[in-house]
Amino acid sequence: MADLDIAQKDTYFVAVKLFLERDGKLFIFKDKWGAWDLPGGRIKKHEFETDLKDVIARKMSEEVGNEVHYEVEERPEVLMRHERVESVPGNPTIRIFGIGYRVKWVSGEPKMSEAHTEMLWVDVKDFKPEGYFTGGWLKGVQEYLGNRRK
């Protein structure tokens, strides 16, 4: 019989993560808490029925501005599971299931939001993500780069 005990099941936030590439370089940025990240983020409660392309458009607008034009691959490239301490009262540890999409830059320059302090375009061929990312995001970036370097 199937395990019906809800206490044995876990709860995850769901996020889209975007591997934005331009001329063989991957876009990354550092948030105001000091963690390196990719554009993207969690799906909001009211977006349950929203097409993921619309969620991606919202996150791109929030995090890199409206001047960046891009094309999103149809299927996810990488699936990730990440755990982190949330910067909210009580500092709970949360889990995030990330869906990583390859995104091709078309035009425009990224503009940093107030939530970010630094941005870089790193070479896909020789970038070493271990010096930037941690946890599940690191594993996802490593998998993505491994796929791209084949």
Q: Would you say the C-alpha torsion 15, 69, 129, 31 has a positive or negative sign?
A: negative
In a domain, 4, yes or no: no
Q: What is the pLDDT of residues 125-145, one digit of tens each?
A: 999 999 999 999 999 999 999
Q: DSSP string spanning 115-142? A: TEEEEEEEETTT--GGGT--HHHHHHHH
Give yes or no for residue 4 having a pLDDT over 80.
no
Give yes or no for residue 60 having a pLDDT over 60.
yes
The single-letter code of the amino acid at 51 is: D
Q: What is the pTM assigned to this prediction? A: 0.92
Mean pLDDT of the chain: 94
- The greatest distance separating any two alpha carbons of the chain, rounded to the nearest whole angstrom, comes to 55
In a domain, 3, yes or no: no
What confidence tier does 2 reach under pLDDT thresholds 50, 70, 90? low
Domain that holds residue 35: 10-148
CATH number, residue 41: 3.90.79.10
Are the CB atoms for 104 and 21 separated by under 8 Å?
A: yes
For residues 44 and 73, give the distance between their C-alpha atoms in angstroms, rounded to a whole number.
22
Q: Would you say the C-alpha torsion 78, 82, 88, 92 has a positive or negative sign?
A: positive
What confidence tier does 150 reach under pLDDT thresholds 50, 70, 90? confident
Length of the chain in terms of residues written: 150
For residues 82 and 69, give the distance between their C-alpha atoms in angstroms, rounded to a whole number.
28
In a domain, 2, yes or no: no
Give yes or no for residue 3 having a pLDDT over 70.
no
Give the chain's domain count: 1
In a domain, 1, yes or no: no
In a domain, 105, yes or no: yes
Residues 107-124, mean pLDDT to the nearest whole number: 95
